[in-house]
Structure 1
Amino acid sequence: MIDPRILRDDPDRVRAAQAKRGLSDEVVDRALSADAARRAAIGTFESRRAEQKQLGKQVAKAQGEEKADLLARTKALAAEVKQAEAAQAAAEEEWQAALMSLPNLAAPEAPEGGEDDFVVLEEIGTPRDFVAEGFEPRDHIELGRMLGAIDLERGAKVSGSRFYFLTGVGAQLELALVNLAMEQAREAGFTQVVAPSLVRPRAMEGTGFLGQAADDVYRIEGEDLYLVGTSEVPMAAYHSDEILDGASLPLRYAAFSPCFRKEAGSHGKDTKGIIRVHWFDKVEMFVYSTLEESYAEHQRLLGWEKEFLDKLELAYRVIDVATGDLGLSAIRKFDCEAWIPTQGRYRELTSTSNCTEFQSRRLDIRVRQDGEVKPAATLNGTLTAIPRTIVAILETHQQADGSVRVPKALQPYMGGREVLEPVAP
């Protein structure tokens, strides 16, 4: 959540941030009203409690009729104290709910607008010209069938739409990508993690995924557990309720986990293939930092993402995501989008967000530095989301006969294989 002092001291800044995201500022007024009610309720409760304590001292000294009157007043006051305490608890709950519903304040540098209002920061590599090469590129669905790499039919038979099997060289590609990503992360000083995919509600709410993204989250019926859509969730909660030593920062983790998403609102989009699916595996970078250092760390995360895509020899671009397309927690987000030949467009492969103190305030993660304790900053960045990365590799590096060239960086993890050969016509 945002710093409550900003809301109290500069509510117009919060209103402007809401407008920049394309959201109503009604929640700002509601939060301010809830804060005023909360403070009034605290004052009433403390006043009644003080009176109750003072009355207790008087009762101890009083006698006769005076004592009887004081005892009667004590009984009535006890009911008032209980009522004031309940009112304070209700006011506190309403204040917290209003505060939690406010998204992080988008960075001034983030472009304003919706999904299509991003700013292209750079383009790396040149998309292949298949016309000049004399053949029509096949899509990843056909290539996956020819290579024996992707089985969509049995995925649908076993689990339903938007599920799949990776088989043969498809499974080998996944393991190769995970190993390459983990090796790069380890060499960059990240601690490797295999993270749980089931978390308690606090972890999900603490990272902001029970807000505007709640419709996309799977909940386990009968259990107080959620399936995560990214290992950002368990990694953000990893140090919840802890005070970190400032000298140990940044703490960098690279976490592998399965990810699950309902893909609510995506009906009719990417229904074929493995671009948009309900389950996929991912290696996610997660960092704990100080607020002051988080902006530079955000650029470093983007640099590691670009380094990984360069190893895969892909053409891609980097975009600065517009404020209306930011998640609840992020102040700024950069996406790396790879060129998908058969779609004739760039598609997101990786994303990195600076969430500043938003998640740490919700999860009570603090830093002790120079004698001061304050909230940590958290950042996340995708190193590889497997299915889309496989799509980009197959379509980018395909050859006229349906074979696919293996990027040099992946070859050591593919048994030295340089080319994936078709096994079906």
Structure 2
Amino acid sequence: MIDLRLLREDPDRVRASQRARGEDVALVDALLSADERRRSSGVRFDELRAEQKSLGKLIPKAAGDEKAELLKRASQLAADVKAADAERDAADSETQSLLLQLGNLVHPDVPVGGEEDFATLEEHGTIRDFDAEGFAPKDHLELGQLLGAIDVERGAKVSGSRFYFLTGVGALLELALVNAAIAQATAAGFTPMLTPALVRPQAMGGTGFLGQASQDVYHLDKDDLYLVGTSEVALAGYHMDEILDADRLPLRYAGFSPCFRREAGSHGKDTRGIFRVHQFDKVEMFSYVLPEDSQAEHQRLLDWEKQWLTSLELPFRVIDVASGDLGSSASRKFDCEAWIPTQGKYRELTSTSDCTEFQARRLSIRVREDKKVRPLATLNGTLCAVPRTIVAILENHQQADGSVRVPEVLRPYLGGREVLEPVSQ
């Protein structure tokens, strides 16, 4: 959530952020009104309680008509205090409810608009010319079937659409990717973490996934637990309700977990293969830093993502995600999109978001510095979303006979194997 003091001092900035997100600007004025009622009712309650305490000291000393009058006033005050308390609680509840609906403040450099209004920042690698090489590229599913690596038919039989099996070299390729990604993260100073896939509402809501993203979340009603769509949720919740010493920062974690997404609203999109699925594994970077260091940390996370994709020898671009596509927690987001030959376009493989103090305020994570306590900043960055990375590797490194060249960075994790060979025709 944002700082209420900032809202009071600069409401136009918050309105501009809401407008850039394409969200309801009227929410800002409703929140200002509720906050004013909360503060004024709090003052009223404090005044009545002070009078009540003063009166309580006078009554024992009074007698006769004076005491009767004081007792009458005390009775009225008790009713007024109770009413003021209820009014204060109602106004506070409304303020908090409205505050939780407000997205993070959009960074001023973010391009304004919807999904297609991003700005391209960089392009890396060379897109292969398959025509010049004399063969038409196969898509990842055809390659996966030739290699005995992907089985979506039995995935659908067992679990339904958008589920799959990784088999043989497909399973080995996932394990190689995860181990290589964790090795890079560990070398960069991240603490590797295996995180829970089920979390409580406080963790899911605190990271901002129960607002506009709630339609994509799986919920276990009986247990009131949520299946995470990213280990970001568990990594953010790891320090909730804690005060961290400034000399411990930055704290960097690399979490590995299964991820679950309903993919609501994606009907008809990416129905072939394993690019958009309901369950997948992912290595996620997560950082806790001082607020003034968040932009520099954001760039570092992006650099680690670029290092990873470069090591996989993939052509990719970096985009500055537009304001209407940020998600509620992010102030700014960079995506790395790999070229997918059979689709003839770039598709998102990694993403990194600067959430500034937004999640920390919701989760009550603070930093102690020079005897002062204040919220810190959190950031996240995907290092390896496994199925999408497999898609990009198979399609970009395929050869005319249906085999796939293994990027050098993965070979030590595949027993030195340089090529994945077809097992069936």
TM-score range, shorter chain: over 0.9
Deviations 1:206-233 (A, max 9, x none): 1111111111111111122111111111
Greater CA drift, 55-64 or 360-369: 55-64
1:82 to partner: Cα distance: 1.5
Deviations 1:76-100 (A, max 9, x none): 3222212211111110010111111
Match of 2:13 in 1: 13
How far apart are the structure 1 equivalents of 2:86 and 2:199?
A: 31
How far apart are the structure 1 equivalents of 2:46 and 2:273?
A: 62
Greater CA drift, 222-231 or 178-187: 222-231
1:13 to partner: Cα distance: 0.9
- Counting only pairs closer than 5 Å after superposition, residues 307-386 of structure 1 correspond to structure 2 as 307-386=307-386
Match of 2:116 in 1: 116
1:236 to partner: Cα distance: 0.7
How far apart are the structure 2 equivalents of 1:130 and 1:283?
A: 31
Match of 2:184 in 1: 184
Match of 2:262 in 1: 262
How far apart are the structure 2 equivalents of 1:91 and 1:189?
A: 45
1:24 to partner: Cα distance: 2.4
Count of aligned pairs: 425
How far apart are the structure 2 equivalents of 1:373 and 1:92?
A: 23
Match of 2:420 in 1: 420
Letter in 2 for 1:147: L
1:45 to partner: Cα distance: 1.1
Match of 1:96 in 2: 96
Deviations 1:298-326 (A, max 9, x none): 00000000111111110100001011110
Q: Secondary structure at the match of 1:410?
A: helix
1:366 to partner: Cα distance: 0.9
1:64 to partner: Cα distance: 3.3
How far apart are the structure 1 equivalents of 2:317 and 2:332?
A: 17
Q: Secondary structure at the match of 2:42?
A: helix
Deviations 1:232-280 (A, max 9, x none): 1111111111111111111000000111111111111011111111111
Match of 2:167 in 1: 167
1:372 to partner: Cα distance: 2.3
Q: Secondary structure at the match of 1:330?
A: coil
How far apart are the structure 2 equivalents of 1:40 and 1:223?
A: 39
Match of 2:29 in 1: 29
Letter in 1 for 2:110: A
Letter in 2 for 1:38: R
1:158 to partner: Cα distance: 0.7
How far apart are the structure 2 equivalents of 1:64 and 1:309?
A: 87
Letter in 1 for 2:196: P
Deviations 1:389-422 (A, max 9, x none): 0000011111111111111110110111111111
Q: Secondary structure at the match of 2:348?
A: strand
Match of 2:240 in 1: 240
Give % identity: 69
How far apart are the structure 2 equivalents of 1:422 and 1:366?
A: 53
1:66 to partner: Cα distance: 3.0
How far apart are the structure 1 equivalents of 2:217 and 2:57?
A: 56
Q: TM-score, normalised by structure 2?
A: 0.98
Deviations 1:39-93 (A, max 9, x none): 1211221122112111211111122343333233323322221221111111001
Match of 1:134 in 2: 134
Match of 2:38 in 1: 38
Letter in 2 for 1:219: H
Q: Secondary structure at the match of 1:416?
A: coil
How far apart are the structure 1 equivalents of 2:148 and 2:304?
A: 31
How far apart are the structure 1 equivalents of 2:226 and 2:63?
A: 61
Q: Secondary structure at the match of 2:259?
A: strand
Deviations 1:111-133 (A, max 9, x none): 11110001111110111111111
Q: Secondary structure at the match of 2:319?
A: strand
Q: RMSD value over aligned CA atoms?
A: 1.0
Q: 2:202 aligned with 1:202, yes or no?
A: yes
Match of 1:231 in 2: 231
Match of 1:151 in 2: 151
1:190 to partner: Cα distance: 0.5
Q: Secondary structure at the match of 1:342?
A: coil
1:371 to partner: Cα distance: 3.0
Q: Secondary structure at the match of 1:343?
A: coil
Greater CA drift, 19-28 or 124-133: 19-28
Q: Secondary structure at the match of 1:374?
A: strand
1:370 to partner: Cα distance: 2.8
- Counting only pairs closer than 5 Å after superposition, residues 67-78 of structure 1 correspond to structure 2 as 67-78=67-78
How far apart are the structure 2 equivalents of 1:390 and 1:191?
A: 25
Q: Secondary structure at the match of 1:108?
A: coil
How far apart are the structure 2 equivalents of 1:421 and 1:69?
A: 97
Q: TM-score, normalised by structure 1?
A: 0.98
1:378 to partner: Cα distance: 0.4
How far apart are the structure 2 equivalents of 1:201 and 1:278?
A: 20
